[in-house]
Structure 1
Amino acid sequence: MTDTRPDDIADTDVYITRAFDAPRPVVWRFFIEPEHLAVWFAPNGITTPAGSIAIDPRVGGRWELIMVDDTSGDQFPMRGTIVELVEPELLVLRLDASTGGSPEAMMLRIQFHDHGERTRITLHQGPFTPDRRHDTETGWLESFVKLDRRLSADRSSTKEN
């Protein structure tokens, strides 16, 4: 769910808060471990092959992946450097300008808020042009639906065992 934008968030930025039915350490792993990120990260019609993901979880480390259009095969790289990391609370990336925002340095900040067996994330990314902002927000929301499904499937299989 997209919340009311705080006053200090620019109109050029994506701002989303979203709750997931999983503890914070579990949700964190889905953002920081390539095999977990690959199962949900990309909007509908696009996949992120696990082999394209490189994450070095430390300040100064890289966070990179390639999204691939399922129909055309077109590739969309996302390259970033981790500038802040507090496990399992905060992930901040400086993204390469070729990632598609604006010529300015783009930042992606994700905070993970502990709510017992649930986790709320706050995502702030930008700046973008208006069209890119809309597309990016839509992509995140579609990706989060996939993440919800995966977390639900993991919970179900854990309960069965």
Structure 2
Amino acid sequence: MTDTSPAVTDRDVYITRAFAAPRDVVWRFFTEPELISRWFGPRDFRVPAETVKVEPEVGGAYALTMVGIEDGELAPMAGIITAFDPPEYLEVRLGAHSRDVDLDNVVLRIRFADHGDRTRVTLHQGPFDAVDRDLTAEGWEQSFEGIDAILEGAGR
């Protein structure tokens, strides 16, 4: 697949991370609802599996609801898959709304590079204002720690 992603700006989150699993396994973490519910979100949220919806095709839904562990705050995220090329590329145009966040038309682009028994994930998401960009980057870093814990057998 040819990379047609726009340039990264200071309004974007851009993270590259290697996971200790083959590409087809890591791809499943982003496309299978049961797995998404186990790792997605900052540490102070959980994602009930019944709130996760992934319709694995262009035009399909990609949605979930994070629930605050302490206060039950609901933080839904909903989008439409705009590119779907398993197990290499996933793109979603989404919105997210909660007490502190009100986002529309944010594009999430994720590339999965095959390195045998490891996978490099490159995430590019935006545009954001500075506060939402930083909160989103922190949330992704904590989420990725969740994937690492599952892969290491510690669960989350």
The residue that corresponds to 1:147 in the other structure is 147
The residue that corresponds to 2:29 in the other structure is 30
The residue that corresponds to 1:133 in the other structure is 133
Unaligned runs of 5+ in 2: 1-5
CA distance in 2, matches of 1:53, 1:37: 7
Deviation of 1:45 after TM superposition, in Å, equals 1.0
**Alpha-carbon deviations, 1:112-153, whole Å to 9, x = none?**
000000000000000111111000000000010111010111
TM-score in terms of structure 1 length: 0.87
The residue that corresponds to 1:158 in the other structure is none
Amino acid at match of 2:111: Q
Deviation of 1:8 after TM superposition, in Å, equals 2.3
Does the 8 Å contact 1:106/1:126 carry over to 2?
Answer: yes
Cα gap change, 1:125/1:71 in structure 2, threshold over 3 Å: closer, same or farther?
same
Deviation of 1:97 after TM superposition, in Å, equals 6.2
Unaligned runs of 5+ in 1: 1-6, 155-161
Amino acid at match of 2:11: T
CA distance in 1, matches of 2:97, 2:37: 21
CA distance in 2, matches of 1:75, 1:129: 21
Matching of residues 5-24 of structure 1 within 5 Å: 8-24=7-23
Aligned-residue sequence identity (percent) comes to: 47
Cα gap change, 1:102/1:51 in structure 2, threshold over 3 Å: closer, same or farther?
closer
Does the 8 Å contact 1:107/1:127 carry over to 2?
Answer: yes
**Alpha-carbon deviations, 1:19-65, whole Å to 9, x = none?**
00000000000100000011000111100010100110000000000
CA distance in 1, matches of 2:129, 2:46: 24
Deviation of 1:101 after TM superposition, in Å, equals 6.0
CA distance in 1, matches of 2:74, 2:148: 25
1:121 aligns with 2:121: yes
CA distance in 1, matches of 2:134, 2:35: 25
CA distance in 2, matches of 1:19, 1:40: 16
CA distance in 1, matches of 2:103, 2:62: 19
Does the 8 Å contact 1:57/1:85 carry over to 2?
Answer: yes
Q: Which has the higher strand share?
A: 2
CA distance in 1, matches of 2:64, 2:150: 19
TM-score in terms of structure 2 length: 0.89
CA RMSD of aligned residues (A): 1.7
**Considering only CA atoms, is the larger Rg found in Structure 1 or Structure 2?**
1
Across the two proteins, how many residue pairs are aligned to each other? Answer: 147
Three-state SS of the structure 2 residue aligned to 1:35 is: helix
Q: Which has the higher helix share?
A: 1
The residue that corresponds to 1:106 in the other structure is 106
Instruction: State the 4+ residue runs in structure 1 displaced beyond 4 angstroms.
Output: none
The residue that corresponds to 2:75 in the other structure is 76
Amino acid at match of 1:110: I
CA distance in 2, matches of 1:128, 1:41: 20
Does the 8 Å contact 1:102/1:127 carry over to 2?
Answer: no
